[in-house]
Amino acid sequence: MAWVYEFSQGNKDQKDLLGGKGANLAEMTTLGLPVPPGFTISTETCRAYLAEGGEPEGLAEEVSAHLASLEEAMDKRLGDADDPLLVSVRSGAKFSMPGMMETVLNVGLNDTSVGGLAARSEDERFALDSYRRLLQMFGGTVLDVDSELFSEALDEAKRARGSESDLDLDADDLRALVETFKAIIKEQTGRDFPQEPREQLDLAIRAVFDSWNTDRARLYRRQERIPEDLGTAVNVQAMVFGNFGMDSGSGVAFTRDPASGEQGVYGDYLQNAQGEDVVAGIRNTVSLADMSDIDKTSYDDLMGIMTRLERHYRDMCDIEFTVERGKLWMLQTRVGKRTPEAAFRIAVHMVDEGLIQMDEAVLRVTGDQLALLMFPRFDDSAERTLLAKGMNASPGAAVGKAVFDSDTAVEWAARGDDVILVRKETNPDDLRGMVAARGILTSRGGKTSHAAVVARGMGRTCVCGAESLDVDARAKEFRVRDGVTVSEGDVISIDGSTGEVFAGAVPVSDSVVVRHFEGEKLDDDLAHAVARIMAHADGARRLRVRTNADTPEDAARARRFGAQGIGLCRTEHMFLGERRELVEKLIVAEDAAGVEEALAALLPLQREDFTGILEAMDGLPVTIRLLDPPLHEFLPDLTELSVEVALAEERGEVDERAATLLTHVRRLHEQNPMLGLRGVRLGIQIPGLFLMQARAMAEAAADRLAAHGTPRPEIMVPLVASVRELEIVRTAIERVIAEVEEARGVTLDIAIGTMIELPRAAFLADRIAKAADFFSFGTNDLTQMAWGFSRDDVESSFFSRYFEHGIFDVSPFESLDQRGVGGMVEMGTTKGRETKPDLKVGVCGEHGGDPLSVHFFDRVGLTYVSCSPFRVPVARLEAGRSVL
C-alpha cells in the first residue's frame, strides 16, 4: 500500500484516496492536458498522520522517491542554487472546502535559490516577488504567524511607493520586503525561516495535514455535513508562474455561468499574478472575454480545453489555470459548484444538448436547492434606492442590518437580528460571520472570490465586487460614491440575483418557482426547467406525498403544489382564538350536562372546519387527527393567573371566573405534560371530546356527499401505546359514525387509523394493526420518546455541544435518526404488515419533508410522506431521486 501516487497513476473516480483535486489532476494528466507534473499524498496518509500524531513510517522515503522523479522530469532540483525546481503544496479533500485548508506556493526558494531563479528567468523582480510570497504563505500557514502582520508590511511598502498595487513594487522594494518578512517570522516564532528546501516541503505537507482540524475547517464540515474522518490529500506539483510579467497571469473559469446556469464560459483573469491573488480579490480581475484581447493564443487554448472538459465530465466544470509567458497550464478542474437556479437550468440544458438523460438530470438537483428557489425575491415594482451594483454571486433577496465584522454578525444574529456582513473581501476567518448573516456584500473580488464560492455553497445571498463602495471596517461604515454613508446597524437590502444593493428594507415578492407551482403560466427558463424535472421525478417515484394542513387555504395551496391528500390535519389549532372560551367551558364544566353543552357548542364549528378542508381536498384522502395536546395548553398560564388572582384579592376584589379557572389550571397542571394527559388518553378520560370530533367529521362528510363531493376523511388517533386504547376509542367512534349514517341516510367510508409515535407502539405494531386501518408515524414524538429529548427545549439547550462532539451532525428532529428512530419505523411497518399486508403506512412528522429522511422512508417501503405545503415539491423531487 503506497502513501504517494504520481498524477499519471490515478483518475477522477479516486476522490476517496486522492481527494478531489488530486483525482482530477490525475484525470487531466491522463487526458493529455497541459498539467504541471507532480504527485499526490493520499488521504489515507493524512488519516494515519492524524491518528498517530506524526508522519507514518515510510512516507519520507516515498516522498523522496517521487520528488526525485519530479526533479528528473523537470530536469531541475528542488531549491537548487542555479536553477531551482519550485513546488506548490496544496490541500485537496474528497469534498471541496474552499479556502478552508492550507496552500503554500514557491516551496524551494531560499536566500540562495532566489538568485538562481532570478538569473534563469532574467527577472530579479519576479524572483523576489515569488520569495516574498513564499515567506508570507509559509509564515502564515505553516508557522502560524498572524497573516495581518505580512499584509500590513505589504501595504506599508505600497504606501511608501505611493501606489495601491503590488505591481508597482520594484526589485529593491521587494528585496526590502523579503527582509521584513523574514524579520517578522524570526520575531514571531523565535526561529529563522527554514532555508533547507526539503525541510520547507516537509513542514508544508505537515501544515496541510494539520489544517484538517482547524476550527474553521471543522465548522465548514459541520455546515456542509462533510464527515470528520476523511482527512485531506496533499498535492505537490511543479510550480508554473503567473507572476512572470504581463504575458503571464492566473485565472479561474467556469464552463457555464455558475450563478444563472446560462450557457457560455464565465471567469476572471488577472495578469501578472499567482492564483491566490485572483481568489482573494486583491486586485480587480478582468473577464475571460477581455483575456482574449490580452493573449488570444492562450485564450483559444483555454476555450478548447474547457469544451473538452465539459464533454468529458458531462457537467459544468470549474477550472484554475495559469499562463506562464504565453503558455497555458491547467492547475485544477472539478465539477463546479453552482447556485440552485443554475443547477436546474444546467441539468435540463444538458439533456437538450444530448449530454445526459432525464434520470441523471433529476439526480443532479436536490430538494434543498428547490427549497431555496422557493424563497421570495425583491419586489421589482417597489420603490427603492440603489446604492451600488456588484456581481450577482449567489442568489436570493436578503435584508438586514449592515455589520462589518464576524464577531458582530454572530452576536447580533444570536440576539435575533437579521444582518448583512459587509467586507472589502472575505477570507476563511469570516466563515462564522457568513454563517450567521442573511447575506454577504463585498467591494472586491469576482464571482470566484472566496465570498462568492462559500456563499453559494451555503445557499447564502451574496453580492461581491461592488467596487463603488468604500468599505471601512475600522470605522464600521461604507461610503457610497455620491456622499452617502451606511453605518453599522443601518438596514440594507442586497439582491444576489442581480447584484444590486439598496438602502433600507426593500419589500419582497414570490419566486417564479412558487408562481409556477401556483399554476401561473410563465415564459421563464427556470420555471420550465423545474417543471420538466418535477414531471420526471413524479413519473418515477413510488412514495406518495401528502401535506400537513389545518386550513382550507393551506390545503388548497398544497394541492396546487402537488399534494396527494392530507396526511395530518392537527385539530388543536381549531380550539384556539375565540373558541378558547368554549374549551374553557368544557374544562370547568361541573357536571355531565355542562360538558354536553360545551361540546354541543363546539360541534357546528368543527363541522364547518372539516367541510372546508374536505372540499379543498375533494377526492383525495384527508387524515384528521383527534385532539392531541394536553388541555392546559388551552388555559391561561398558571403563574400569570395566580398573580392576577392574588393581586385582585389584595385589592379586596373577587374575580369568580379567574378564581375558578385557577382551580382547574392547578388541577390540570402536570410536571411532564408531554408524557401526561394527551392524545388517546384524553379521549379515554373525556370520551365526549373525541366523539364530538368524530361526529363533526361524519356530518361534514355527509354534507359534502349531499353537495355531490367526494369526501375521503380518515380519522387518526394520536399517542396510542396499547391496542386496547385504540379498540376502546374505535368502538365508540364507529357507533357515532353509524348514528350519523342512519340519521342522514348515507353510507360513509371513514377509515380509522392510528399514529405510531411511542416506542411501545412500534414494538407492538402487529397487535395495534388489528384495530387500525392505517398507520402514520409521528416521528416528532417518536424521536422525542426514543431519545428522551424534550422536543421543545433541547435544540436551543445542549445540542451545540452534541454537534461539537460529533454525537450527531444534524438534529434528529430535523433529519431522521435512521439507525435508532428509523429502526422503529422499519420494525413498526414490517410488524403492522404482518397483520395486514396491505396496511397503508405514512409518516407525518417534520421528517416527511427532509430529503435524507424521505429517501429512508422510500427504502423501507412506506406508502406516503406528509409535510408542510412548502415542502411538498421538495418531497416529490426527493421521492423521485430516491428511486432513480
**Footprint of Mg ion (CB under 5 A):** 757, 778, 781
Q: Is 779 in the site for ligand PEP (CB under 6 A)?
A: yes
**Footprint of ligand PEP on 728-757 (CB under 6 A):** 757
Q: Closer to ligand PEP at the Cβ: 242 or 753?
A: 753
- Find the binder of ligand PEP among 182, 198, 570, 744 (CB under 6 A): 570
- Establish whether 516 is a catalytic residue: no
All cell numbers assigned to 596: 354536553
- What DSSP line would sit under 850-865, residue for residue? -HHHHHHHHHTT-SEE
The whole-angstrom separation of Cα 583 and Cα 643 is 22
User: Cα dist. 318→25, 726, 755 in Å?
Assistant: 13, 59, 48
Is there binding between residue 681 and ligand PEP (CB under 6 A)? no
Rule CB under 6 A: is residue 780 a binding residue for ligand PEP?
yes
Question: What is the closest distance, in whole angstroms, from the C-beta atom of residue 566 to ligand PEP in the complex?
Answer: 12
d(CA 725, CA 717): 10
Tell me whether residue 177 or residue 865 sits nearer to ligand PEP (CB atom): 865
- The CA distance from 485 to 462, in Å, is 20
The window from 107-115, 296-304, 727-735, 776-784 that contacts ligand PEP (CB under 6 A) reads 776-784
Quick one: 757 or 846, whose CB is closer to Mg ion? 757
Q: Which residues of 623-642 are buried (b: 16+ CB within 10 A; e: fewer)?
A: bbbbbbbbbbebbbeeeebe
Residue 779 binds which entry of Mg ion, ligand PEP, none, CB below 5-8 Å type-dependent: ligand PEP
Q: What is the 3-state secondary structure (H, E, C) of 710-740?
A: CCEEEEEECCCCCHHHHHHHHHHHHHHHHHH
Question: Binding partner of residue 697 among ligand PEP, Mg ion, none, CB under 5 to 8 Å per kind?
Answer: none
One symbol per residue from 828 to 847: x for binding ligand PEP (CB under 6 A), - otherwise; what is it? ----------------xx--
Beta carbon nearer to ligand PEP, 387 or 843: 843
Rounded to the nearest 5 degrees, what angle is found at the Cα of 772, between the Cα atoms of 814 and 670? Answer: 55
User: Do residues 601 and 622 touch, judged by C-beta distance below 8 A?
Assistant: no
Distance, CA of 665 to CA of 633 (rounded, Å): 10
Rounded to 5, what percent of the chain is helix, strand, coil?
50, 20, 30
User: Binding partner of residue 78 among ligand PEP, Mg ion, none, CB under 5 to 8 Å per kind?
Assistant: none
| Cβ 757 to ligand PEP shortest distance, Å | 5
Residue placing its CB nearer to Mg ion in the complex, 166 or 781: 781
d(CA 516, CA 526): 10
Partner touching 560 among Mg ion, ligand PEP, none, CB below 5 to 8 Å by kind: none
3-state class (DSSP) for residue 364? coil
Q: Which stretch binds ligand PEP (CB under 6 A): 115-123, 174-182, 777-785, 802-810?
A: 777-785
Considering the candidates 46, 66, 349, 450, report the single residue annotated as catalytic: 450
Residue 628 binds to ligand PEP (criterion: CB under 6 A): yes
Question: Shortest Cβ distance from residue 374 to ligand PEP (Å)?
Answer: 22
Name the active-site residue from 844, 847, 855, 867.
Answer: 844
Nearer to Mg ion, 237 or 754 (CB): 754
User: Applying CB under 6 A, which part among 325-333, 600-608, 778-786, 804-812 lies near ligand PEP?
Assistant: 778-786
Task: Report the alpha-carbon distance of residue 849 to residue 511 in Å, rounded.
Answer: 20
Main-chain dihedrals φ then ψ at residue 621, nearest 5 degrees:
-65, 140
- Gap between the Cα atoms of 321 and 304, Å rounded: 13
Rounded least distance, CB 400 to ligand PEP, Å: 31
- Minimum CB distance to ligand PEP smaller for 343 or for 841: 841
489: phi > 0 → left, psi -120 to 50 → alpha, else beta; which? left
Q: CB nearer to ligand PEP: give 124 or 628.
A: 628
Q: CB under 5 to 8 A by kind: which of Mg ion, ligand PEP, none does 570 bind?
A: ligand PEP
Catalytic-residue membership of 450: yes
DSSP letters of 417-461?
--EEEEESS--GGGHHHHHH-SEEEESS--TTSHHHHHHHHHT-E
Nearest CA to 85 out of 250, 248, 193, 237 is that of 237
Identify what 30 binds: ligand PEP, Mg ion, none; CB under 5 to 8 Å per kind: none
Q: Which stretch binds ligand PEP (CB under 6 A): 42-50, 246-254, 345-353, 775-783?
A: 775-783
Find the DSSP H helices in 541-637.
Answer: 552-560, 580-588, 592-616
- In the complex, what is the shortest distance from the CB of residue 339 to ligand PEP, in angstroms, rounded to a whole number? 33
Catalytic center residues: 450, 844
Task: Point out which residues bind ligand PEP (CB under 6 A).
Answer: 568, 570, 628, 757, 778-781, 844-845
